Structure 1
Amino acid sequence: MRPISYSRATAVADAVAAVAADPTSDFLAGGTTEIDLLRQNVLLPRRLVDINDLPLTEIEDRPDGGLYIGALARMSKVAAAPAVRERYPMIAEALELGASAQLRHMASMGGNMMQRVRCGYFRDAMSPCNKRDPGSGCSALDGFNRGHAVLGVSDHCIATHPSDVAVPLTALGARIHTEGPRGRKVYAIDDFFLLPGTTPHLEHPLEHGELVVGIEVPGMPAARTSRYLKVRDRESYEFALASVAGALAMTDGVISDVRLALGGVATRPWRAHRAEEVLRGATADAEAFRRAADAELAAARTTPLNAFKAELARRTMVRVLETLTRTESRS
């Protein structure tokens, strides 16, 4: 039994100060992933600072038509919010497909941004894992890696990022707000999730004691016509083999704006910049969709067990684009 001390914070500054002062401490929000990792001896904090009393649960309108979502807003509350469902249907869909109802009632939006990978080797304290024990090696490279990433991988890590809702947030170019020992910071979401490179244990650019306090979603008319499609081994309570978040706007059959991001196939929520470049200004048809998907997956680095993911991601992207085109044409 490892002793763990526990305290509750009622102010953001107090929570930040408490964790920043102790390198063995960590924040505790919904705990839906963190408690599992504590039980598995993957995380070994000596102190937990409970932040659930902090006033970070708001869902507020922004002047640009966007939203600001407090880090402690529960996933179920955000998914049910009329402003989210009307302006950003792909966010609501991703949240509802992300976990069981029980977990969605507990899990927080900020915690979701910080959740750790689902790689079985990361969660097995006996297996070499560069994320858990830097420099020890990556067991997944030559192990069972059917569910692992094909984009953004390195020779040090091929673990797939697990979040669903981070995928549409990445497509939308959301910004992550934090409070830390050096004050307020705002990160573009592409900068918030780090590629593994040679340092897979560093998943975010945050310093110790820096707390996610909110998520800013920019206003975007195209997001009203958006979808999140998740393909998985079973219909419920399962992580994505491939997922796509997409938003689309057209003028006379030509794509004027498009936002795409992939999940389940990359080491971080993956903005499909190459596909977007192919699609902007193109006629909205199956040929353009296939060209865009091929351009994005050209960089895929696969193993014999997960090679199917590249083709699955291509087909999922095309299907989302076809669905959005039909929806946009009827509006």
Structure 2
Amino acid sequence: MKEFGYRRAADVSGALALLAAEPEARFLGGGTNLVDLMKTGVERPALLVDVRELPLDRVEPTPDGGLRIGATVTNSDLAAHPEVRRRYPALSQAVLAGASGQLRNMATVGGNLLQRTRCGYFTDTARPCNKRVPGSGCSALTGAHHNHAVLGASDHCVATHPSDMGVALTAFDAVVTYETPEGPGELPLADFYLPVGDTPHRETALPPGALITGVTLPPAPVAARSRYRKVRERASYAFAIGSVAAALDVRDGVVRDVRLAFGAVASRPWRATAAERALIGAPADEAAFAAAADAELAAARPLPDNGYKVTLMRNLVVAVLAQLTEEAAR
């Protein structure tokens, strides 16, 4: 591991100043991803700016009925918060599915959004990876890729984003707030992650030197009846091979409102807008759910060893929406 400096920030302006003074500095939250990447040599910061003690550790209601979640709220506190569990249960479920209790106690909301891919070629500095070394090539295209992307990928990168929490936040139209030396800003999560294209090393639309300060969830009555379901290769904590965050409002057997987002199928949490459009006004039955999933997955471009994800995601969408429909009828 490269030798590095360490500074603890006392306030947001101080954190920004420390980062601006050192071009190779990085913000440190829980460190559950960044420190691992430093150990493998993928990340080599000259300075870590610890932001864990900044006053960004609260979950608070917004005046319009949504929630504001501070960037240093731990995953454990987020999952356990009574208003998160009541208003956005799929978010709580996604966080609980994401890691062990020990990791949730350390990991932060801001850090979760910025975690990098778990592609084995990205973490293996001896192999080509366009995300790690732009222009070097994508080893996964002809290598091991059974867990890789089937939506929104390119010839330059087929890695997936590992966040479970991000999938639920995407389904509920979350907005990321941040601070820069020039002032505050915000980005809808739908625009936060950049398309892969030919620049997979550019992962987010955050301005250089920006510090995430929180995430705002707008009011969404449909989110109170929501579920997150994750499929993984082993029962213990592991990254998803496919996941769905879903919320559904059914009245008189007809879908009135729906939110859908997929995980582990693209370089970013994937909002299933085509499926949502297909479902509004449709009967709440398995045939309609399957047709909606097919409408979304029509854009899938699987590789030789990950085509199973298309079938898996179709079945997952049907199962989760059917469960929500049954619960609504009780």
Q: TM-score, normalised by structure 1?
A: 0.98
Task: Work out the CA distance in 2 between the residues paired with 1:155 and 1:280.
Answer: 34
Matched, 1:62 2:62: yes
State the partner residue of 1:42.
42
- The amino acid across from 2:228 in the alignment is Y
Give the equivalent residue in structure 2 for 1:303: 303
User: Aligned partners of 2:104 and 2:300: how far apart in 1?
Assistant: 32
Q: Secondary structure at 2:229's aligned position in 1?
A: strand
Aligned residues: CA RMSD: 0.8
Counterpart position of 1:135: 135
CA deviation string 1:203-234 (max 9, x = no partner): 00122210111000111111110000001111
Deviations 1:156-212 (A, max 9, x none): 000000000100100000000001122101101010011111100000012221011
Count of residue pairs the alignment pairs up: 330
The structural deviation recorded for 1:251 is 1.6
* Aligned equivalents of 1:275, 1:289: Cα separation in 2: 8
Q: Runs in 1 of length 4+ with deviation above 4 angstroms?
A: none
Contact 1:73 1:109 (8 Å CA) reproduced: yes
Q: 1:64, CA displacement in angstroms?
A: 2.0
The Cα shift of 1:329 comes to 1.6
Q: Deviations over 1:18-53 (max 9, x none)?
A: 112321110001000110000000001111111111
CA distance in 2, matches of 1:171, 1:60: 20
In structure 2, the residue matched to 1:211 is 211
The 5-angstrom pairing of residues 49-198 of structure 1 reads 49-198=49-198
Given residue 277 of structure 1, which amino acid in structure 2 is its aligned partner? R
In structure 2, list runs of 5 or more residues that go unmatched.
Answer: none
Q: 2: distance between equivalents of 1:3 and 1:103?
A: 25
Contact 1:19–1:208 (CA<8 Å) still a contact in 2? Answer: no
2: distance between equivalents of 1:290 and 1:268? Answer: 23
* Contact preservation (8 Å) 1:248, 1:258: yes
CA distance in 1 between partners of 2:298 and 2:23 (Å): 42
Are the counterparts in 2 of residues 97 and 236 from structure 1 also a CA contact under 8 Å? no
1:141-170 per-residue CA deviation (whole Å, 9 max, x = no partner) reads: 111001101001001000000000100100
Deviations 1:273-309 (A, max 9, x none): 0000000011101110010000010111111111101
1:235 CA displacement: 1.4
Counterpart in the other structure of 1:227: 227
Residue aligned with 1:121, SS: helix
> Secondary structure, in 3 states, of the residue corresponding to 1:265?
coil
Separation of aligned partners in 1, 2:90 and 2:324: 11
Distance 1:53 1:204 in 2: 24
- Give, in whole Å, the separation in 2 of the partners of 1:182 and 1:199: 26
Aligned-residue sequence identity (percent) comes to 54
